[in-house]
Structure 1
Amino acid sequence: MASVETPKEHINIVLIGHVDAGKSTTGGQILLSSGQYDRRTFDKYRQEAKEKNHESWWLSWAFDTNAEEREKGKTIEVGRASFTTDHKKITILDAPGHKGFVPNMICGAAQADIAILVISARKGEFETGFERGGQTREHAMLAKTAGVRYLAVLINKMDDPTVEWSEERFNECRDKLMPFLRRICGFKEQEITFIPASSQTGAYIKDPEPSLCPWYSGPTLIDYLDALPPINQVSKNTDFIMPVTGKYKDMGTVVTGKVESGQVTVGAKLLCMPNRVPVEAVSLYIEEDEVEKLQCGDNGRIKLKGVEEDDIYTGMVLCDQSKACKVARVFDAQIYVIEHPRIICPGYSAVMHIHAATEEVKMTHIIALLDRKTGEKTKTRFIKQDQLALVRLECQGRSICMDKFTEFDGRLGRFTLRDEGKSVAMGKILAFRAE
């Protein structure tokens, strides 16, 4: 009797990091090294990039597809591509690094299970990205807040003349990053892996180069991804939840997103929350393939019956009709103030990013200040940078789909507050309140 092949787990990775660290080049090198993309296509990218005097950018053109991105060498939209390893089917999301496009980066992180934080080892570039205001810090914090489970730190440009595969430089970057990733972002040590690499040459993306880097004995990037333990298995039998990250019209209303829990099959009766609009899933897709089922971890599309495209917006959540996801306008939360030059008082407003949703919120009460070591509560009239507090927040527009952090340790229980183009605080939802 022929054995039944076990389907590969579908995971989603997001490439994040400071501008010019090499994120898009890393993504292009992954696709090229995996051997599943036509070499002639990349040869065409190389020739076209050379003609525009951007020869070093050719790998990034696999993700930076529009003219502005290619001309400026700057990712704006979240690029997307897929490849397979021995044990995984992987969707790559290439997030922009420029501080002006952080909301787009958040949208990419909200769909990912694993983040690859790309760091430039080049002298001066690591320091610029890691100092306050650099995107290395902000992207790492946003990834954790968005619910990313594992973090691979790719120390890129190790072949640069200022580095030359120096173990000392690798250790310097790692030792400066690790306390920040653990203490501030909240990653556990076993969730973080550091990998030296050159995305331009491909060293340590797929194959090791011991002659260049004899001191490193860990996995290459693709080997690391292939060996990750199952990430989405535990949620497959729970209630269906999929935040909507995009929409378009194609012989009906089609929504895109990543299934956060449960599964959905063709013909399933769903609710579009928070408006409680009943809909039916008439077709399901992964990439270009029509499928019978989407399950936890799948990044796909659903064609819906019963709703018009104009009635759908990013940040809505599809869920089972039998168990609607929770919705709130007023809620209590624990927040940690990352960076803010002034004190924060009741009445303070900021933009909240939670899963794929974006909404302005106002702080109506400061319940207490929390001691970060003991958890002891003290009364206060204001919050400052690097402080932990319990606060009450109120959405200034529509209600938002969310859940308590203790009940849904993922996208629906964590959020980020941003103000004046900067990430101000990370938060966890603790309780809902009557309006």
Structure 2
Amino acid sequence: MDILRFATAGSVDDGKSTLIGRLLFDSKAIFEDQLEAVERTSRDRGTEYTDLSLLTDGLRAEREQGITIDVAYRYFATPKRKFIIADTPGHIQYTRNMVTGASTADLAIILIDARKGVLEQSRRHAFLTTLLRVPHLVLAVNKMDLVDYAEERFEEIREEFTSFASKLNAADLTFIPISALHGDNVVSRSENMPWYQGSSLLHHLENVHIASDRNLVDVRFPVQYVIRPHNATSQDLHDYRGYAGQVAGGVLKPGDEVTHLPSGLSTRISAIDTFDGPVEEAFPPMSVTLRLEDDIDISRGDMICRPHNQPAAAQEIEAMVCWMADTTKLQSRSKLVIKHTTRTARALVRDLQYRLDVNTLHRDESATALGLNEIGRVSLRVTQPLFVDDYARNRLTGGFILIDEATNGTVGAGMIVDAR
């Protein structure tokens, strides 16, 4: 069974947490004691229905204020697929949390209140998901019960959002009218909207094709760890040398010719090992150990690729950066640590080209710094070459994080636009 990672986003009180609670409840993915606790809390509040949003809003501040602050991860499965949900906040001051949750997502669900229509926050969330290259986008028009399940209202919102999405790079866009509170079109088709001929939300999640979203053309294998048993008892283990990591792109098979970076030396794969034993091929996002025919000096942070298909070995990087620190700002001459795949280096901010208004898409070229939750295009100079691809080509080798040298805290996330 494959795994679908999806993130939810939307304006405040659009029903994100209720939708996830409904998915968990209707797919029988919650325990009886959890349900009893939610029902008890709902009764204490005097609500006439079970508040399913309590299943995800775990922080006390979230429950008290009725908003989502942190990224809440939930897991459930159906006979067809496993799911990892990232419930991300809607507030603009938690943009960094949304970027974190959506950065690894295969699909994003943007909720829109059928009464309010497409808001500024809705457009901001759509832009962020396309900036992060989330391959599939679902626009869930929620609270259809409050507009009498009107087809006309749903079509108005669809036309307005489609017009806005034409300015973005949204590859796969799906519209589904739902009522998370009552379960309409969430797990099963709704009898209240006979005019809607599409699938329910869960059916779409179960069947959306994600295998081709990953880059299976460009072989990229960042080395994370060199496995060399020193206390081996058998001769076979004593001579064992393997290179462990997660496949970031392409398909690897025993016998394939590969090149090691930065040395440029070529060899062939002799075997591919996993925890469950040898395999005949490896592809994203598998974690494997490669054994090579020749002894090459390989260490953590190095890259294994194809001889005639190599990433750029770059020290000059242009990237879109989301700043996540509330105590410092990103500005010219800032010195930071950059972590790209398994490689770590020091970086100098050469220039802030512009700050982007994620609500209007306006570029402020007069900006001199990026503050908390702000996004801009930045030029970096790195102390040693990083083996990178454009983020649009490969999200794993095109993304990085920035770390404060003094606190060792993550202060920024970047998406590479150009490198040389």
Shift in Å at residue 407 of structure 1? 7.7
Within a 5 Å distance, the mapping from 1:161-176 to structure 2 comes to: 163-176=147-160
Residue of structure 1 aligned with 2:164, choices 180, 191, 197? 180
d(CA) in 2 for partners of 1:34, 1:291: 34
Q: Give the Cα–Cα distance (whole angstroms) in 2 for the partners of residues 204 and 35 of structure 1.
A: 16
Alignment match, 1:214: 194
**1:405 and 2:382 aligned:** no
1:106 Cα deviation from its structure 2 partner: 0.3
What is the alpha-carbon distance in structure 1 between the residues aligned to residue 9 and residue 15 of structure 2? 9
Which of 168, 179, 198 lines up with 1:198 in the alignment?
A: 179
Q: Which amino acid aligns with 2:284?
A: C
Offset at residue 89 of structure 1 (A): 1.4
Q: Find the counterpart in structure 1 of residue 74 from structure 2.
A: 81
Q: Given residue 22 of structure 1, which amino acid in structure 2 is its aligned partner?
A: G
The answer to whether structure 1 residue 228 and structure 2 residue 186 are counterparts is no
In the alignment, the residues of structure 2 paired with residue 50 and residue 94 of structure 1 have an alpha-carbon distance, to the nearest angstrom, of 25
Structure 1 residues 171, 223: closer, same or farther in 2, change over 3 A? Answer: same
Letter in 2 for 1:154: A
Deviation at 1:227, TM superposition (A): 1.5
CA distance in 2, matches of 1:364, 1:115: 29
In the other structure, the counterpart of 1:156 is: 142
With the length of structure 1 as denominator, give the TM-score of the two structures. Answer: 0.60
Deviation at 1:166, TM superposition (A): 0.6
Corresponding residue for residue 25 of structure 1: 18
1:230 to partner: Cα distance: 3.6
Distance 2:61 2:388 in 1: 39
Task: Provide the residue aligned with 1:37 in structure 2.
Answer: 30
Residue 145 of structure 2 aligns to a residue in which SS? Answer: coil
Cα-to-partner distance string for 1:308-358 (whole Å, 9 max, x where unaligned): xxxxxxxxxx8665469867563246x8xxxxxxxxxx9799x9x99999x
CA contact (8 A) 1:263 1:295 kept: yes
Q: Report deviation, 1:403.
A: 2.9
Q: Which amino acid aligns with 2:84?
A: T
Between the two proteins, the alignment pairs up a number of residues equal to: 320
Say if 1:112 and 1:234 are closer, same or farther in 2 by CA, change over 3 A. Answer: closer
Task: Quote the Cα distance in structure 2 between the aligned partners of 1:178 and 1:149.
Answer: 16
| Residues 1:147 and 2:133 are matched in the alignment | yes
Q: How far apart, in 2, do the equivalents of 1:30 and 1:146 lie?
A: 25
User: Mind listing any 5+ residue stretches in structure 1 that lack a counterpart?
Assistant: 1-7, 244-256, 265-282, 285-289, 303-317, 336-345, 367-380, 385-390, 417-425
- CA separation in 1, counterparts of 2:377 and 2:107? 31
| Aligned match of 2:86 | 93
Q: Is the 8 A contact 2:9 2:87 kept in 1?
A: yes
SS where residue 159 of structure 2 aligns? helix
Q: CA contact under 8 A between 2:313 and 2:385: conserved in structure 1?
A: yes
CA shift, 1:234, in A, is: 5.2
Contact 2:6 2:106 in 1 (8 A): yes
* 1:180 Cα deviation after fit: 1.3
SS at match of 1:117: strand
What's the secondary structure of 2:51's corresponding residue? helix
